[in-house]
Amino acid sequence: MRGMRIKVSYIPIYLKCQRMFRLLAVGHEYEVDVGLLLHLAQKEWGLRYPRILKEFDGSETSELEKLLLKALAGVKHDISHIHSVFRDVEKEDFEQVFQNLEKRIPEISCNLVLVDARSIFPVQTDVFLSSKEISGVVDKIVIIDGSYAPSLIKTHHPPSIGVWKADRLQATAYAMLLEDEMDIRIEKAQIEYVSCGIARDFPVKTADRRNVINCLEDMKATLEQERDNRNEKMCGGCPLRKICKWDDY
């Protein structure tokens, strides 16, 4: 494991369960279930929100709902070309994914109508960033307050205020990589909670930069020493439970 580059996307996973991080880092993959399919389809849909807002004339929420439905039909049509995993899915599961997403339209439109399209409009998407020790693909680079900012798409719900710590640290790590790449200071980052149509930006703080560095050190030690802790609270819905040695299901 020595000399291995750590993926930025593993930061929130490490904070959730060290064992889950280690299993993924050594090459295991999530089991494909409806939860994973929902995540992938929701993310594709969320990536289309900027175009939806561009088309929306700002009048009626019902109009926004129609545009969301149209975009979802587009995702349904395209998804197997984007994620091959959808090619092998049972028809019933495929339909269930899109029925579940359609039910989210009223909540998404209520929130999305308040989002400034410029803040989620990407300057670039899927940008690969790397340093000697870490690497990752940031979903978007956007402009916030006139400056470049990394923006991450998340399919879980946000906290009542601000963003989750794990999301903040992951975005901070991308901000640090982007600073090296562009030779500029990144002041802000953003999380787009697409399952409810909310986008929240936040300052990239000194304390979080320090936390990222410490977290990466701990992650490296976890791999090098082949030791980890499990988080029992997460085991119930864990997509790695069948291969996890702690798992007695």
Q: CB of 103: closest distance to ligand SF4 in angstroms?
A: 27
Longest Cα–Cα distance in the chain: 58
Q: Considering the complex, state which of residue 164 and residue 246 has its C-beta at the smaller distance from ligand SF4.
A: 246
Q: Which two tokens stand for residue 247?
A: 């798992």
- Among 83, 50, 81, smallest CA distance to 68 is for 50
Q: Which two tokens stand for residue 221?
A: 């030690």
Q: CB of 26: closest distance to ligand SF4 in angstroms?
A: 12
Q: Considering the complex, state which of residue 20 and residue 212 has its C-beta at the smaller distance from ligand SF4.
A: 20
Q: Considering the complex, state which of residue 57 and residue 249 has its C-beta at the smaller distance from ligand SF4.
A: 249
The rounded distance, in Å, linking the Cα atoms of 129 and 137 is 6
* Residues 6 or more apart in contact with residue 160 via CB below 8 angstroms: none
Q: Considering the complex, state which of residue 181 and residue 228 has its C-beta at the smaller distance from ligand SF4.
A: 228
Q: CB of 156: closest distance to ligand SF4 in angstroms?
A: 15
Q: CB of 31: closest distance to ligand SF4 in angstroms?
A: 11
**Residues binding ligand SF4 (CB under 6 A):** 17, 19-20, 23, 230-231, 234-235, 238, 240-241, 244, 246-247
Burial class for 156, CB neighbours closer than 10 Å (0-12, 13-18, 19+):
middle
SS3 200: strand
Q: Measure Cα distances from 138 to 114, 122, 151 in Å.
A: 24, 11, 7
Q: Is residue 152 within a helix (H) or strand (E), and if so which, with residue range?
A: strand 147-154
Q: Considering the complex, state which of residue 65 and residue 228 has its C-beta at the smaller distance from ligand SF4.
A: 228
Q: CB of 10: closest distance to ligand SF4 in angstroms?
A: 13
Q: CB of 58: closest distance to ligand SF4 in angstroms?
A: 44
Q: Considering the complex, state which of residue 221 and residue 243 has its C-beta at the smaller distance from ligand SF4.
A: 243
